[in-house]
Amino acid sequence: MNGDQQWSASDVVNGYGEYELGTVIKKYGDERFFKRIARAIVAARPINTTSELAEIVTSSIPAPARRTGGHPAKRTFQAIRIEVNGELDVLPDALDQAVEHTVPGGRIVVLSYHSGEDRIVKERFAFAAGACDCPHDLPCVCGAIQTVRLVRGVPKRATDEERSTNRRAASARLRVVERIEAVRKSDGLPVGSDAPSGLGY
């Protein structure tokens, strides 16, 4: 995402060890044939073009699995892109900043195309919604503050019709929260209020 950085996909494809490369493909691509793909990439080095890489990845996947789910190499390319850009590293802070800079009543909508992305969105939205580890039958003492309300409790998925016209929509998950005035979970009062806490002392 930063055209000025020296780090590139070539560094990942031609520089990572087989285990490290396989880990990236599995973690960021949800690719079940990650071991075979990583082994084939390492054996074919140096790889200089995306077409070379696509061919190597495709040939590493069993023929029956190639016939469904779009281009066979898409998950590997996605994984390499996420690794190069550090996308999942910057996402939590980006989401927190989005919440911070949204005015009460405004909504934050996030569309994720990867389970790793959606997991982070779910966690950060839950944190902003005041999630805490305190027992439900006792007052909150962890200092949790709610700054959003969840508009959708579960992510919205593409309909069959949407998936038929846009195959990329199949993996998409939509989550929505609405900004509210910050409230302390311990007493349900606005942050900054001088009212006593809900602990009773």
Cα dihedral angle (101, 107, 113, 115), rounded to 10 degrees? Answer: 80
Which tens digit of pLDDT belongs to each residue from 9-20?
A: 999 999 999 999
What does the mean pLDDT of the chain come to? 89
Tally of structural domains, the chain: 2
Domain boundary among 67, 85, 103: 85
Asked whether residue 57 carries a pLDDT value surpassing 80, the answer given is yes
Q: Is 198 helix (H, G, I), strand (E, B) or coil?
A: coil
93 and 74 inside one domain? no
Q: What does the alpha-carbon distance between residue 22 and residue 51 come to, in Å, rounded to a whole number? A: 20
Ranges 44-48, 98-102, 157-161, 182-186: which has the least confidence: 182-186
Q: What is the CATH number of the domain that holds 44?
A: 1.10.150.170
Q: Kindly state whether residue 147 falls inside one of the protein's structural domains.
A: yes
Q: Kindly state whether residue 168 falls inside one of the protein's structural domains.
A: yes
33 and 98 inside one domain? no
119 and 165 inside one domain? yes
E strand residue ranges, the chain? 107-112, 145-150, 156-157, 173-184
Checking DSSP bridges between strand 173-184 and strand 156-157, what pairing results, if any?
antiparallel
How many other CB atoms sit within 10 Å of the CB of residue 124? 23
pTM of the model: 0.76
Asked whether residue 56 carries a pLDDT value surpassing 80, the answer given is yes
Asked whether residue 82 carries a pLDDT value surpassing 90, the answer given is yes
Q: What are the DSSP calls for 93-145, one per residue? A: HHHHHHHHTSPTT-EEEEEESSHHHHHHHHHHHHHHTT---S-TTS---S--E
Check residues 65 and 45 and name the one with the higher pLDDT. Answer: 45
Domain boundary among 44, 68, 85: 85
Q: Kindly state whether residue 80 falls inside one of the protein's structural domains.
A: yes
Q: What is the CATH number of the domain that holds 148?
A: 3.40.50.150
Predicted confidence at residue 199, as pLDDT, reads: 42
Q: Kindly state whether residue 198 falls inside one of the protein's structural domains.
A: no
The parent domain of residue 48 ranges over 9-85
Q: Which neighbouring-strand residues pair with 184?
A: 145
Q: Kindly state whether residue 200 falls inside one of the protein's structural domains.
A: no
Which tens digit of pLDDT belongs to each residue from 109-124?
A: 999 988 889 999 999 9
Q: What does the alpha-carbon distance between residue 102 and residue 167 come to, in Å, rounded to a whole number? A: 32
Domain boundary among 85, 108, 125: 85
Q: Kindly state whether residue 170 falls inside one of the protein's structural domains.
A: yes
- pLDDT interval class at 185 (50, 70, 90): confident
Q: Kindly state whether residue 197 falls inside one of the protein's structural domains.
A: no
